[in-house]
Amino acid sequence: MEITEKKSQLESISLKKRFRLSEYIIEKIIFLSSFLAILGVVLIFVFVFREALPVLTNPEVKKEASLKLFFSTTIWQPVSDLPRYGFIPIIVGTLKVVLVALFISIPVSVGAAIYTSEFAPLRIKEYIKPAAEILAGIPSVVLGFFALMVMASFFQGIFHYTMRLNALNAGVALSFAIIPVIYSIAEDSLNSVPRSLKEASLALGANRWQTASRVSLSVAMPGILAGIILGLGRAVGETMIVLMASGNASILSANIFDSVRTMSATIAAELGEVVNGSAHYSVLFFIGASLFVFTLLINSLAHLTVGRLQRKLAGKI
């Protein structure tokens, strides 16, 4: 009897200890997984910048590729007797595609968000929202292939240009990818506009359109802006769609019917077999680092403007 009592006592102690230990371990695991996200960002940051650094420091690399050389030529020709890494055509190319994409996706997605949150009857709403979600779920390689095979011929039939694959084609395909991003955030922020504001507006004699455009839209503006900026970040970084739909010729022109080469597609296309540690390799990482810094800047800008707008609106109200 004595033995069993002791045993049960021991067991209860060990059970208690084991319980605490598992709690401790789980806590640490949760902490680690939250820490891993930060660690990942930091490691990627360090890696990308370390590989890009020779462009600024290594004299061997600098002979072929330096900041000055990047902007003193308008030709991107990395595999050549005289390699030329002109950033201007690929920066202009990226801007052209992104501008086309935003030009299409902002009015479409914001308009759709206003319609679904302010005007649409419930039955239609039930169709629009899942449709947008499905659009968001289409893999970008499928969108790219669709643009390469179908859309390019369709636009060529309308505009009669020579290059099937061009900035317009890639921009439109890209807008399919960012419309759901902007739409879902804009729709959310329009939905979170307090009912009392809308009711007050209606009670003062404003009609539905006036209420939607002057009250709801302006109150939801910080959220919509945040959505647009997130869409912009996605557009700049999106690779597969532009790789397939833009033609990837590094032509410097303002014509949106010319084929373009974007920064992200350049990395994707050329990094595969580039000699590790060569100037070309460092230049590609330098492009990656620039994209990184660019999106970081955009995101902080978004935070700043959204915060300021929110404070301003709160003060007004």
Q: Report if residue 180 touches other proteins, rule: CB under 8 A.
A: no
End-to-end, the C-alpha distance of the chain in Å comes to: 76
Q: Which two tokens stand for residue 268?
A: 């994707």
Q: Report if residue 200 touches other proteins, rule: CB under 8 A.
A: no
* CA–CA separation, 188 and 239 (whole Å): 27
Closest to other proteins by CB, 202 vs 271, is: 271
Identify the residue whose tokens are 């007004």.
Answer: 316
Q: Report if residue 269 touches other proteins, rule: CB under 8 A.
A: yes
Q: Report if residue 172 touches other proteins, rule: CB under 8 A.
A: no
Q: Report if residue 270 touches other proteins, rule: CB under 8 A.
A: yes
Out of 4, 33, 57, 80, point to the residue binding other proteins (CB under 8 A). Answer: 80
Q: Considering only residues 247 through 266, tell me which ones interact with other proteins, judged by CB under 8 A.
A: 247-252, 259, 261
Q: Report if residue 149 touches other proteins, rule: CB under 8 A.
A: yes
Burial of residue 243 (CB within 10 Å: 0-12, 13-18, 19+) is: buried
Out of 8, 77, 210, 213, point to the residue binding other proteins (CB under 8 A). Answer: 77
Burial of residue 135 (CB within 10 Å: 0-12, 13-18, 19+) is: middle
Side-chain half-sphere exposure of 77, counting CA atoms within 13 A:
10
Contacts of residue 243, defined as CB under 8 A and 6 or more positions apart, other chains included, come to 144, 264, 265, 268, 269
Mode of pairing for the β-strands spanning 84-85 and 76-77: antiparallel
Q: Report if residue 243 touches other proteins, rule: CB under 8 A.
A: yes
Out of 88, 202, 271, 313, point to the residue binding other proteins (CB under 8 A). Answer: 271
Q: Report if residue 175 touches other proteins, rule: CB under 8 A.
A: no
Alpha-carbon torsion 238, 105, 215, 203, what sign? negative
Instruction: Tell me how far, at minimum, the Cβ of 271 lies from other proteins, in Å.
Output: 7
Closest to other proteins by CB, 259 vs 264, is: 259
Out of 158, 273, 314, 317, point to the residue binding other proteins (CB under 8 A). Answer: 273
Q: Which two tokens stand for residue 251?
A: 């032509």
Chain positions contacting other proteins, by CB under 8 A:
75-81, 89, 148-149, 152-153, 162-165, 243-244, 247-252, 259, 261, 269-274
